[in-house]
Amino acid sequence: MPDYTSQPRWWQRGVYRLMSTRPAARLAAKVLPGVDRTTLRLSGGRFTLTSALIHVPIVMLTTTGAKSGLPRTVPLLAFPDGDKVVVIASSFGNTKHPAWYLNLRANPQATLAFHGRPARPYIAREASGAERAVYWQRAARAYPGYNAYKERTEGREIPVMVLEPAQSDE
């Protein structure tokens, strides 16, 4: 997975500031997932508009719907930590948790596909305490928009999810 710790370019810092605003976040929440799904499909899973704009890798997370039981796939910013992948349930600063987070709470088995690689099974868990604080800091340093999202959630603590590779039964 690409490195997300290097310094963003000057224009990417401008995108961070723009995406931190409420109107841009609302628009992004409606437009970017569809655009990213399309660009991922067309690029063989190697490229998204969002990853180019904000210099953070994007994964395709597939969960099982908590109510429907159907597979649900969503593009998300991802922060690798060795073989683990961390995702932030910010929902662009909305006051409610995103559906994918609720799905993972109901069924922690998921698959992740990234950087043109086939989807692999993962098990999700919610980070807490010091671990959550470390991952939140890393993610907010890589994408400063999270701090603005945190201010808009009206007290909702933004969950930090850690996905670890599922052990195969071979």
More confidently predicted of 4 and 141: 141
Q: How many separate domains does the chain show?
A: 1
Q: Within a domain: residue 3?
A: no
Query: How many percent of the chain have pLDDT more than 70?
Result: 88
Q: Tell whether 125 is covered by a domain.
A: yes
Q: CA 3, CA 70: separation in Å to the nearest integer? A: 32
pLDDT of res. 5: 52
* 92 belongs to a structural domain: yes
For residue 143, the Cα-to-chain-centroid distance in whole angstroms is: 11
pLDDT band at 42 (very low <50, low <70, confident <90, very high): confident
Q: Looking at the domain assignment, is residue 5 inside a domain?
A: no
Report residue 145 CA to chain centroid gap: 13
- Region 157-163: mean pLDDT is 97
Is there a domain that residue 2 lies in? Answer: no
Whole-angstrom distance, CA of residue 14 vs CA of residue 35? 20
- pLDDT of amino acid 1: 39
pLDDT confidence of residue 2: 41
- The DSSP 8-state label assigned to residue 74 in this structure reads E
Mean pLDDT of the chain: 86
- 170 domain residue, yes or no: no
Adjacency order of strands within the sheet including 120-126 = 71-77, 58-64, 109-114, 120-126, 160-165, 84-88, 79-81
Domain that holds residue 160: 10-165
Three-state SS at 34? helix
Contact 149, 90 (CB under 8 A): yes
What is the SS3 assignment for 87?
strand
Is 90 exceeded by the pLDDT of residue 24? no
Tell me if 29 is assigned to some domain: yes
- Whether residue 23 is predicted with pLDDT greater than 70 in this model: the reply is yes
Question: 1 lies in a domain?
Answer: no
Q: How far apart are CA 108 and CA 101, in angstroms?
A: 9
The enclosing domain of 151 has a CATH number of 2.30.110.10
pLDDT tens digits along 68-95: 999 999 989 999 999 999 999 999 899 9
The model carries a pTM of 0.81
Q: Are 30 and 72 in contact (CB under 8 A)?
A: no
pLDDT at 3: 45
45, two tokens? 């899973």
